[in-house]
Structure 1
């Protein structure tokens, strides 16, 4: 009798604790996850990260959704190498696009080192954000090096004129390309070129772009992904093609909180000047390169539109439901 009473009190206490949770906490979910893309789908927050492990074990991707930034639901194995036959390892940096009631998941795979290896950037499609996703074209969308850019870390940018671009690149080079309307191919620009390099000073990988007050904010990661000096910098331009002059660092490690903070994305609450940065970092004391966790903190601008340095926290962000 006493056992059941105590068990009931414990369960009641756990339920009360779950209801009382007012901040996301960092990391926001359990497990090793990196390179997160945050977005909003159907009035829910979503995060699509890389499963952080040895390359040979990176053969699937999970996703997470939340109605309020605090309580997260895991959607396991939304895509894997069984549904993308050419992908063998190193499935990285998902980017999600919702278009015409379909969801398109861009990813890189196989960590190719030259133009003779199979791999690069692919795209999969599903009827729902939690998958399952299947290969859209049965081969990589992009499988070669151009302007020195390794075909990884793709971000799909929807410009205000409706055009979709893919911004990508590792090995300290970044390209922008024009996507066909159905995402099955890359199209040439009006001047006949196909791969325009927009690499800013300091760029290493992990590009991201958004528009605020009709200005194009371009962000990227610097330093080594496996080390403590990983960080995020940014530039502002009047065009998605630049020029992009580095303004400063806005995300980096805090020796009292975590190391290696980088490879991020940004979420804006629709209709509000309310912004969140979603990123990965390495917990204090962790030295394994793949021991990375996904976190969220506030991102704010000053009166001149410059991004203020982000304070990385253990608390994360407050509960915020979408209307």
Structure 2
């Protein structure tokens, strides 16, 4: 596989854009895995403005995880790196472990959610924060100047948030580590959470074997809830899912659909899903660990196509070195 790297330094802008072109020797052009170079994990994949975007965690020691980069592509093959879209100079209450981004576009602004400081109890400062920008590549600024959620509720560490827009326009956030998952309802400008109809602010929706990394999408009127299982540095790290008729579940575990292949990589997990509506293709964006790697932070971002059977169940995903075929987003 040949790789050509072109970097453009733009004066006065806080990021560096680097275009990474990948081609295979065959007639069909594929992205290759990992899709871009560097140690990156917990990738949030999404489509904005006729481009694919990936927002990952910079995978390093917690005290070095103090910024985030982003990557964009028109076709899943050629990726542009946008450096340091947000860092701790903009979010001053975070001093370490800025990780697991989630992002939504609302009212022509981009809201980037993330965990910070890896708090272990309710006396430590940190939790889930949100930043805002006018462009997906930033720069982002702190939206509320403090964490959106800063306490451990129902046993769920406030990390690994995913923001989901329901069919009626309501925005929910799923989050939680330590084998517990909560759902909360966000207010209209993402400055806080509001109560459910019963007056409660937090509902636990933890499915069987849940560890962390929740993700939700809708297909044919059904709610597909996904999560990571196993240990994040171990060979058992993987992804499972459930299907429900409501964003609140109940989420009955169906099966594991993403896991390691001892001939390709270990510990495949903490994923997201991109649906490209023109082709009706679904892509699972995830991180994995190179074979033989012993450094817990050496994680790389990869993409595979995700398919469904006639009953709407997700077929097991085979992890590959080749990745996915080119799929341009037409304007």
Per the normalisation by structure 1, the TM-score is: 0.94
Deviation string, structure 1 residues 246-271 (Cα, Å, up to 9, x no partner): 00000000000000000000000024
CA contact (8 A) 2:164 2:171 kept: yes
1:113 equivalent to 2:120? Answer: yes
Instruction: Give yes or no for the alignment of 1:229 onto 2:236.
Output: yes
Counterpart of 2:186 (choices 164, 176, 179) is 179
1:141-290 alignment, distance < 5 Å: 141-290=148-297
Partner of 2:30: 23
Higher strand share: 2
Inter-partner Cα distance in structure 1 for 2:214 and 2:313: 18
RMSD: 1.5
Deviations 1:240-297 (A, max 9, x none): 1000000000000000000000000000002443100000000111111100000000
Number of equivalenced pairs? 310
1:242 aligned counterpart, secondary structure:
coil
CA distance in 1, matches of 2:216, 2:146: 26
Query: Are 2:164 and 2:173, in contact at CA under 8 Å, matched by a contact in 1?
Result: yes
- Do the aligned partners of residues 113 and 212 (structure 1) sit closer, same or farther apart at CA in structure 2, a change above 3 Å counting? same
Selected match of 2:146 from 134, 139, 149: 139
Question: C-alpha offsets along residues 148-171 of structure 1, whole Å, 9 cap, x if unaligned?
Answer: 000000000000000000000000
1:66 maps onto 2:53 in alignment: no
Work out the CA distance in 2 between the residues paired with 1:313 and 1:191.
46
Unaligned runs of 5+ in 1: 1-12
- The answer for the alignment partner of 2:132 in structure 1 is 125
68-77 or 270-279, which deviates more? 270-279
Larger radius of gyration: 1
- In 2, Cα distance between equivalents of 1:102 and 1:18: 29
What CA distance in whole angstroms lies between the structure 1 residues aligned with 2:215 and 2:5?
A: 39
Q: Distance in 2 between matches of 1:282 and 1:20?
A: 22
Q: Secondary structure at the match of 2:253?
A: coil
Counterparts of 2:239 and 2:104, CA distance in 1: 23
Indicate the SS of the match to 1:247.
Answer: strand
Tell me the TM-score normalized by structure 2: 0.92
Point out the structure with the larger helix share.
1
Correspondence 1:83 to 2:112? no
C-alpha separation between the residues in 2 aligned to 1:234 and 1:243? Answer: 12
Q: CA deviation at 1:173?
A: 0.3
The answer as to whether partners of 2:22 and 2:32 remain within 8 angstroms in 1 is no
Q: Distance in 1 between matches of 2:23 and 2:209?
A: 43
Q: Deviations over 1:125-170 (max 9, x none)?
A: 0000001100000000000011100000000000000000000000
Q: Is the 8 A contact 2:86 2:140 kept in 1?
A: yes
Q: Residues of 1 paired with 2:78 and 2:223: CA distance?
A: 32
Q: 1:305 aligns with which of 298, 305, 312?
A: 312
